[in-house]
Amino acid sequence: MFLAVTGFAILRLHSLFAVVMLSGVYSLIAAAMFVALDAVDVAFTEAAVGAGISTVLMVGALSLTKQREKIPVHTPLLPMVVVLVTGAALIYGTFDMPNFGDPDAPANRYLVDRYIQESPKEIGIPNIVTSVLASYRGFDTLGEVTVIFTAGVAVLMLIGGARRRRRPDSRAGPEATRE
């Protein structure tokens, strides 16, 4: 419920700084919700990465761009129709979903009992999420690291390359004054 309110506030506000701060608040509420849903590992990752690093990145990007959003001129009728139709289709899709918290749902039956019973013995650590992440699905995590590395290299190419290309007569950002 809080999440929806924060989402609407982000939609309505035009001050980008407030929007970025609210997105941090949104991540933090999402993290609290993950704790309530028994996903503690996900919750602390979301709190650290979603509420922390994302917000820092966004504030950094804001300092290099401008602070206010232009008021939209054209009528948002078409997007609204698209969104409502998609939303209705998705809600219709949830009618076939298993009940919330149902232990017999297909997703909660397959392979899970084995992880819960065997992983503390096989891996030797009590946290099942960590065992699955680092051991059974280690290749996934390796792929994840590759993605992060690629993203890091791409960011450096984009921003670092821009600094070299910048001419002396171009717009001076806060970054230029630092140099």
Partner 1 sequence: MTFVLAHLNYWVVVVLMMIGLYIVVSRGNLIKKIVGLNIFQTSVFLLYISLAKVAGGTAPIADERFTVYANPLPHVLILTAIVVGVATTSLGLALVVRIREAYGTIEEDEIDLQDDEE
Q: Return the SS3 of 48.
A: helix
Return d(Cα 59, Cα 61) in angstroms, integer: 5
Q: Return the SS3 of 100.
A: coil
Does residue number 172 form part of the binding site for partner 1 (CB under 8 A)?
Answer: no
Return d(Cα 116, Cα 102) in angstroms, integer: 17
Does residue number 16 form part of the binding site for partner 1 (CB under 8 A)?
Answer: yes
Residue of 72, 168, 169, 178 that binds partner 1 (CB under 8 A): 72
The CB-of-179 to partner 1 minimum distance in angstroms stands at: 14
Beta carbon nearer to partner 1, 100 or 179 = 100
Does residue number 61 form part of the binding site for partner 1 (CB under 8 A)?
Answer: yes
Residue of 100, 164, 169, 178 that binds partner 1 (CB under 8 A): 100
Q: Which residue has the tokens 């749902």?
A: 105
The CA-based dihedral angle spanning residues 17, 18, 24, 30, taken in that order and rounded to the nearest 10 degrees: -150
Residues 35-54 binding partner 1 (CB under 8 A) are 37-42, 45-46, 49-50, 53-54
CB atoms within 10 A of CB 144: 12
Does residue number 86 form part of the binding site for partner 1 (CB under 8 A)?
Answer: yes
Return d(Cα 43, Cα 74) in angstroms, integer: 39
Residue of 11, 32, 177, 178 that binds partner 1 (CB under 8 A): 11
DSSP 118: H
Residue of 4, 28, 174, 178 that binds partner 1 (CB under 8 A): 4
Return d(Cα 37, Cα 18) in angstroms, integer: 28
Beta carbon nearer to partner 1, 101 or 168 = 101
Binding mask 113-152 for partner 1 (x = CB under 8 A): --xx--xx-----xxxx--xx---x--xx--x--xx-xxx
